[in-house]
Amino acid sequence: MIGLILTGHGQFAVGVGQALEMIAGKQAAYRVVPFLESDPMDALENNLRNAMAELQEETEGIVVFADLLGGSPFKAAMLASVDFENVEVVVGTNLPMLIEIAMLREFAASAQDVVTQSLLAGKEAIQQVSLPTIQHNDIDEFDDEDGI
């Protein structure tokens, strides 16, 4: 199994983690390390290092998902990761990439394998979507139907 750590500014990691578990179920080998405004940077780095140490004992690799390239959670994850083998750090986290890794990580051969698939899923999920313009005549058709 590949371990999973979520980190980010404020409650980002907590919120996206809750959404992940709502959709993909309870996660094993999983830690959430938020970075609150009141937290010093060294505490965040230490919390990430502790999470990595715990997961390293039970997994073949670890993927850390951070919210923002260059942000404090990203920097702390990079600094902490140098103390461990098989740790990958991913930034720009979105829910589709987490759902993808949740489905793949139990049987994955390496952290890099799940990162590649997760990045593809995350990129494919980013789209601009718009509704087609409704003609005035079409509005009457919708008036007779029950809404949701």
For every residue of 70-101, DSSP letters joined together read TSHHHHHHHHHHTTSSSEEEEES--HHHHHHH
20 pLDDT more than 60: yes
pLDDT at 132: 82
pLDDT at 25: 98
148 pLDDT more than 60: no
Position 87 in a domain: yes
Domain with 38 in it: 2-127
What is this structure's pTM? 0.87
The answer to whether 141 touches 135, Cβ cutoff 8 Å, is no
Position 54 in a domain: yes
Position 109 in a domain: yes
Position 56 in a domain: yes
Alpha-carbon gap, residue 113 to 84, rounded angstroms = 18
The answer to whether 89 touches 81, Cβ cutoff 8 Å, is yes
Position 147 in a domain: no
Position 141 in a domain: no
User: Could you give the number of structural domains in the chain?
Assistant: 1
Lowest-pLDDT choice from 27-41, 44-58, 83-97, 134-148? 134-148
Alpha-carbon gap, residue 35 to 47, rounded angstroms = 10
pLDDT at 130: 87
The mean per-residue pLDDT over the stretch 52-80 comes to 97
- For residue 103, give the CATH number of its domain: 3.40.50.510
Residues above pLDDT 70, as percent of the chain: 89
Position 144 in a domain: no
